[in-house]
Chains A and B, each alone.
Chain A
Amino acid sequence: MHRLIHHIQSIGQKTIGFCIAFGRANLFILSIIFAWPGFKLGARLLVKQLYSVGVLSLIIIVVSGGFVGMVLGLQGYTTLIKFGAEQALGPMISLALVRELGPVMSALLFAGRAGSALTAEIGLMRATEQLSGMEMMAVDPITRVIAPRFWAGVISLPLLAILFSAVGVWGGTLVGVNWLGVDEGAFWGNMQSAVDWHEDVWNGIIKSFVFGILVTWLAVFHGYYATPTSEGVSLATTRTVVQSSLVVLAMDFVLTALMFGELG
């Protein structure tokens, strides 16, 4: 009986803890949105962060996109050829990439590559008193450190997702058309008639924009509120990656149901 009460109490404790963290995260993102360090300085800081968040993620995105597209081409071909429907390869590859794999895979890779780096960097700045130092020099760390990183992430992820899809389609074409010999005209023609700019491509971009907000938000939040020890920073980094991945996958289901599904 005593143990049961203890368990219920710990559930309550966790719920309260979650509510506090959630409220704090919301206040945090509000203060980020209203903090902008002015046009010139902001642009300079933003470019620097676009480099460390976006440019440094390019290689992993391009390589993964290429291989995912090639695998799709290979797998799609071996399945479709059984039904004599290999001309549907183009639509299959492009729809899979543009609607799902582009936004989701790039968000997961982004969480691992850029999200974890952001959390670790901000957490270490907290641990080495750089954020306190800034605060005591009458400079707001949210304006100066957090906001540029947040916006860089929000801008970068949709661009990376577009790149992922484009490289993926190229990889699929390489395997399907150049190696396996699917007719080039049918491949592109069917793709173009199946894929709609607004319905498929644009919705995919909206998805990755939402993922960009979520992943970067989690990353800067966990970094900013990390316990200032080596253990605390490593815990915060792990949390960023795990929570971003789960949130991205769950949110993908919701968005897919709203955009493409019959559920809405």
Chain B
Amino acid sequence: MDMTEPLIITEGLQFKRGDRMIFDGVDLEIPRGKITAIMGPSGSGKTTLLKIIGGELKPWKGEVIVEGKNVHRLKRRELLNLRQKMGILFQSGALFTDLSVFDNVAFPLREHTRLPEILIRDLVLMKLEAVGLRGARDLMPRELSGGMARRVALARAIALDPQFVLYDEPFTGQDPISMGVLIKLIRLLNETLGLTSIIVSHDVLETASIAHKIYVLAEGKVVSGGSPEALQKSTSPELQQFLKGMPDGPVPFHYPARPFVEELMLDTQRSVIPMF
């Protein structure tokens, strides 16, 4: 296997939701064994991108190639095989609420391997140990804090030793401590297992601290891509606005609308009071 060849390539990706163009020609190259971050403001379709890579959504145009295979041309069987090689960490954790922590992590193992239960137990405890929650194995998901739930979900995502892991907003809504724990975990997994990681996030500082390569999306296009250092030096106004968190700039503060004054003068008789 050629280690320099990118693991995932997207070419000319276009995606529409309703009439809104979410992606308008997105080209990405995700290198093997590295941490790649995809950043962009809310609503720039980062989660949608992960779902397209995972084959859950179909792009309108363009293709996604994982290990030389076009994801959206695969047969159902092949797609399922591919998904066993990927782990995905959902924003909400997506733990199964009717299963305990242990059973949640054991779920993919029981589903896709024929290992004896005793071996599954060892593997699950190993994964839980890696995220530091071996002691919480008998808890139910409702008894976990948000940060713990995400760590359990991470243990589940790596249960089958995947080749790459997709992280959907791993840092959102976490307190500083669990944020630190997650950063450490993602880096550790990358270094020790050589796991290719794709992080979708809008937390600039945390993501920049661990990523080897960063893509910034805005308005359905890739604004820039490169190493974190290169990005900091870039003079692109969109990029600087995003990295520094300025409220107004090339990405407007206002959602597209008619001029305010014009709107105030019109439509007074048509205003509708929302009912709650």
Contacts and interface: CB of A to CB of B under 8 A. Distances in A.
A133 B111 CA distance: 14
Contacts of A137: 83-84, 88, 107-108, 111
A17 B88 CA distance: 34
Interface in A112-133: 124-125, 128-130, 132-133
Contacts of B81: 138
A60 interface: no
Interface stretch (B89-97, B125-133, B175-183, B250-258): B89-97
A138 B112 contact: yes
A20 interface: no
Interface in B49-106: 51, 54, 56, 79-81, 83-84, 86, 88, 90-92, 94-97
A106 to B, nearest CB: 26
Contact of B83 (A124, A130, A138): A138
A139 B92 contact: no
Q: With a 10 A CB-CB cut-off, give which of B54, B108, B111 has the most chain A CB atoms.
A: B111
Interface string B110-121: 011000000000
A51 to B, nearest CB: 12
Nearest to B84: A138
Given A128-B92, A130-B97, A138 B80 contact: yes
A135 interface: yes
A134 B108 CA distance: 9
A27 to B, nearest CB: 15
Contact of A129 (B86, B92, B108): B92
Nearest to A139: B111
B94 A130 contact: yes
A136 interface: yes
B240 to A, nearest CB: 33
A225 to B, nearest CB: 15
B82 to A, nearest CB: 8
Interface of A is mostly: helix
Contacts of B90: 129, 132-133
Given A135-B56, A137-B107, A137-B111, A129 B91 contact: yes
B54 A136 contact: yes
A134 B107 CA distance: 10
A124 B56 CA distance: 19
**Chain A interface category by residue count:** 10 to 19
A109 to B, nearest CB: 24
A135 B91 CA distance: 15
Contact of B88 (A124, A128, A136): A136
A191 to B, nearest CB: 44
Nearest to B160: A137
A134 B90 CA distance: 11
Given A136-B54, A137-B107, A137-B108, A128 B97 contact: yes
Interface string A220-259: 0000000000000000000000000000000000000000
A137 B89 CA distance: 11
Nearest to A133: B94
Interface string A124-160: 1100111011111111000000000000000000000
A130 B112 CA distance: 18
A99 B191 CA distance: 69
A133 B97 contact: no
Contacts of B111: 137-139
Contacts of B96: 130, 133-134
Contacts of A124: 97
Given A128-B92, A129-B90, A129-B92, A136 B83 contact: yes
Contacts of B107: 137, 139
Q: With a 10 A CB-CB cut-off, give which of A128, A135, A137 has the most chain B CB atoms.
A: A137
Contacts of A139: 107-108, 111
Closest 3 CB pairs of A and B: A133-B94, A138-B83, A129-B94
Interface of A: 124-125, 128-130, 132-139
18 contacts: A124-B97, A125-B97, A128-B92, A129-B92, A129-B94, A130-B94, A132-B56, A132-B90, A133-B96, A135-B56, A136-B83, A136-B88, A137-B84, A137-B107, A138-B81, A138-B111, A138-B112, A139-B111
Given A133-B88, A135-B56, 8 more contacts: A130-B95, A132-B90, A133-B94, A137-B111, A138-B80, A138-B83, A138-B84, A138-B112
